[in-house]
Amino acid sequence: DGGITQSPKYLFRKEGQNVTLSCEQNLNHDAMYWYRQDPGQGLRLIYYSQIVNDFQKGDIAEGYSVSREKKESFPLTVTSAQKNPTAFYLCASSFVGGSNYGYTFGSGTRLTVV
Amino acid sequence: KQEVTQIPAALSVPEGENLVLNCSFTDSAIYNLQWFRQDPGKGLTSLLLIQSSQREQTSGRLNASLDKSSGRSTLYIAASQPGDSATYLCAVGAAGNKLTFGGGTRVLVKP
């Protein structure tokens, strides 16, 4: 079945450590996105990519980095510069170029600073 | 900048009652609007997508309407069931395929 796989489901980070969240899709979607979800807040866009080897900052990119070396993969690194990284991270993908294209989401990664 | 609002933030209804969830947005220049369901600790599941040229979409007990001129969408869920308990999020799509999300409405359907 086609879909988006996020791993790991739970991740614990020590202070000053970088961690990388994985996102893989087999839907042949062009675009991929990373969102952050905090309790009581809507989803906020971190980074997005519409084509391999190209990506753009979203609304809250500081302290995060991404790469898009393959169409299927869009890993997110949470760096030590991100002061409040504890949150639920969601990856999504979509086709581009038409209003009939919706997003498909992964099951999320919950990151906790210990 | 697009802003999306969902009111109320939480809603509790007895089983069998129809659910009406509201979503408003500030910029009418949208590509589409998508409704999602989120269960606790899970990802988002797409329910309905309404293109900007459409007025409504239906899937089973779900019906979503879109009024771009007034910046509103409504999700109707007929004959609610306890399994409908979840958080419902609306998201507005714009140029560049970027989505802007509302804060969600948390629904509890009591047996």
pLDDT at A1: 62
Q: What integer pLDDT is reported at residue B98 of this predicted model?
A: 83
| Residues of chain B above pLDDT 70, percent | 100
**CB spacing of B49 vs A90 below 8 angstroms:** no
Query: Which residues are CB-neighbours of B62 under 8 A, at least 6 positions away?
Result: B35, B47, B48, B75, B76, B77, B78
Interface of chain B toward chain A, CB-CB under 8 angstroms: 4, 31-32, 34, 36, 41-46, 49, 51-53, 89, 91, 93, 96-99, 101-104
* Test the B interface: residue of A7, A47, A51, A99 with most B CBs within 10 Å: A99
Which tokens hold the place of B102?
Answer: 């509302």
Is 80 exceeded by the pLDDT of residue B97? no
Average pLDDT, chain B: 95
Using CA atoms in the order B50, B55, B57, B63, what is the torsion angle rounded to 10 degrees? 120
- B104 interaction partners in chain A (CB closer than 8 Å): 42
Instruction: Output phi, psi for B82, to 5 deg.
Output: -55, -30
| Per-residue 3-state assignment (H helix, E strand, C coil) for chain B | CCCEECCCCEEEEECCCCEEEEEEECCCCCCEEEEEEECCCCCEEEEEEEECCCCEEEECCEEEEEECCCCEEEEEECCCCHHHCEEEEEEEECHHHCEEECCCEEEEEEC
Burial class of A114 by CB neighbour count within 10 A (0 to 12, 13 to 18, 19+): exposed
Taking CB atoms and an 8 Å cut-off, how many pairs form between chains A and B?
63
d(CA A37, CA A24): 19
Residue range B48-73, pLDDT digits in tens: 999 999 999 999 999 999 999 999 99
User: What is the tens place of the pLDDT at every residue in A28-73?
Assistant: 999 999 999 998 778 999 999 999 999 999 999 999 999 999 999 9
Rounded to 5°, the CA angle B102-A19-A39 comes to 25
User: A19-28: per-residue pLDDT in tens?
Assistant: 999 999 999 9
pLDDT at A98: 75
Tokens representing B97? 């395929």
Asked if the Cβ–Cβ distance from A102 to B43 is below 8 Å, we say: no
From chain B, the residues in CB contact with A104 under 8 A are 46
pLDDT, tens digit, 9 for 90 and up, residues B11-26: 999 999 999 999 999 9
- Write out pLDDT tens, residues A90-102: 999 999 877 778 8
**Distance, CA of A17 to CA of A6 (rounded, Å):** 20
Q: How many Å apart are CA A94 and CA A48, to the nearest integer?
A: 11
